[in-house]
Amino acid sequence: MRRTSLLLSVSCALVLAGCGQGGLGGGGGDKRLADIEKQVKDSQDQNRDLRTKMAAREALGDWGWNHFLHEPEFWQCTYDSGWSDCANRCTKQTSDGYKACMQKPEGPVRNACIQANAESGASCLKSCPAPSINEGVTHCSI
């Protein structure tokens, strides 16, 4: 790979040196040479980065997506989002109820509405299923 990059760089330099001699006129060959040299340098940098990534992957072994999915912990260490989803619904319901109460005129009617809304929100949270994280699994790091 290094030979190819070196050969490509030398070839480009020789070709460009010859191109600047002919009928381009106006000195445009120098700018073009600089552009191509920059492209060669960028390609060499990209090549070096790819080789580094490939070497790192070889050093780490097979820790890709397939390996991740085949680990028992991936399948055993799950999270039940039921309680969180229920709590979010209760929070939205309570927030919406509070906004509705605030539309009422100040006084005992508004206060009663706010109190009833707070009790409804608390009741909603109590009715949510208890969170269960990995029942029966004791080795998860959650």
Question: Would you state the structure tokens that stand for residue 10, as one six-digit string?
Answer: 């030398």
Would you kindly state where each structural domain of the chain is located, as residue ranges? 2-61, 73-127
| In the block, residue with structure tokens 């799950």 | 78
Spatial CB neighbours of 29, under 8 Å, sequence gap ≥ 6: 16, 19, 20, 21
Go through the chain and tell me how many residues it has: 142
pLDDT digits (tens, 9 = 90+) for 70-124: 777 767 766 667 888 899 999 999 999 999 999 999 999 999 999 999 999 999 9
Spatial CB neighbours of 78, under 8 Å, sequence gap ≥ 6: 134
Separation of alpha carbons 21 and 141, rounded Å: 69
pLDDT digits (tens, 9 = 90+) for 41-70: 999 988 888 888 887 777 666 666 767 777
